[in-house]
């Protein structure tokens, strides 16, 4: 059932019905807050509304709960839009992305949700 709700939101985003997608995602409860697909869709809505820093926050939080190329691809795309080509390239490269993301999280207060060992 949870995936059905997320699939509906994803379809709304694909069909560029951003306001409707935003309304639907706002109805979801705290059980979704650690779901990487929820966080990704939330970031896509922010991205499409040109709220790039909010999108980055959601994406960086998503990396705390799982890894998915689509998350890293969107982070890279946003940093390119923001003019940070170097960071964009590092994040788009699978060999350098984890180091770049971990360095970024250390610089951005409050993103890391768990202790890294």
For the segment 36-48, what is each residue's pLDDT rounded down to a tens digit? 999 999 999 999 9
CA–CA distance, 56 with 23 (Å, rounded to integer): 20
**90-113 per-position pLDDT tens digit:** 999 999 999 999 998 888 756 554
CATH of domain 2-107: 1.25.40
**Domain ranges, ordered by start, for the chain:** 2-107
Q: Give the pLDDT score at 111.
A: 55
pTM, whole model, 2 decimals? 0.88
Question: No. of H helices and E strands in the chain?
Answer: 7, 0
How far does CA 77 lie from the centroid of its chain? 11
At a CB cut-off of 8 Å and minimum separation 6, what does 58 contact?
A: 39, 40, 42, 43, 46
Q: Give the pLDDT score at 116.
A: 47
């Amino acid at each position: 059932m949870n995936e059905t709700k997320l699939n509906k939101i994803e379809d709304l985003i694909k069909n560029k019905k951003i306001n409707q997608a935003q309304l639907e995602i706002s109805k979801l409860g705290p059980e979704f807050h650690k779901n990487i697909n929820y966080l990704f869709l939330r970031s896509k809505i922010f991205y499409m509304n040109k709220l790039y820093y909010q999108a980055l926050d959601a994406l960086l939080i998503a990396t705390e709960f799982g890894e998915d190329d689509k998350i890293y691809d969107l982070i890279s795309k946003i940093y390119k839009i923001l003019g940070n080509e170097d960071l964009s390239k590092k994040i788009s490269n699978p060999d350098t992305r984890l180091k770049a993301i971990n360095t970024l999280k250390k610089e951005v207060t409050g993103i890391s949700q768990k202790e890294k060992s």
